[in-house]
Every structure is written in structure tokens, then in C-alpha cells.
């Protein structure tokens, strides 16, 4: 089947081949690849890298003052 498609494309005029390439680019933008990455995703490391995971020490009651404490760390 792929060989037949390849032959059909080769028989098209250059302008039609260019249009086909443009159409394929549009399709790739609309339907991005869902390929699985080669390396497994480590969510913990990704969250740690962006600063979402960490710790802080405070003498205050963190349950009531957490917004102030976190804001100071920015």
C-alpha cells in the first residue's frame, strides 16, 4: 500500500506535491504526535526541578500562615 501511495505521489506535478507536503504539515500541527518518550517520565524529579517539591522550616503555625511563608520564599 505504501509503495502504491509513493508511486501516486511521484506521478503528481511538483505543485501538487508541494501542496501535499503543506497538507501533511497542517495535519501534524492539528494532530500532534502521541509517541511515548524513550525515557520514562519521573514525575517526582520534574516537580522537584520546577520547585514544586521542597521543604521549609518555620517557627510559625504553617497551617494558618502558609501563604505568607511561601510568599517570602519566592
| Residue 2 three-state SS | helix
Element (H, E) at 73: none
The 10s digit of each residue's pLDDT in 29-47 is 898 877 666 676 788 888 8
Cα of first residue to Cα of last residue in the chain, in angstroms, is: 58
The sign of the torsion formed by the CA atoms of 29, 30, 36, 41 equals: positive
Cell triple for 56: 521549609
> pLDDT by residue (tens digit) across 45-60?
888 787 777 766 666 6
C-alpha grid cell, residue 64: 494558618
CA separation for the pair 47, 44 (Å, rounded) = 5
Q: Provide the grid cell at 44.
A: 517526582
Amino acid at each position: 500500500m505504501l509503495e502504491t501511495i509513493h508511486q501516486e505521489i511521484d506521478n503528481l506535478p511538483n505543485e501538487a506535491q508541494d501542496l501535499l507536503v503543506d497538507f501533511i504539515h497542517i495535519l501534524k500541527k492539528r494532530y500532534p504526535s502521541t509517541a511515548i518518550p524513550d525515557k520514562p517520565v519521573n514525575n517526582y524529579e520534574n516537580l522537584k526541578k520546577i520547585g514544586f517539591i521542597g521543604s521549609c522550616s518555620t517557627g510559625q503555625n504553617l497551617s494558618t500562615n502558609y501563604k505568607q511563608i511561601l510568599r517570602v520564599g519566592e
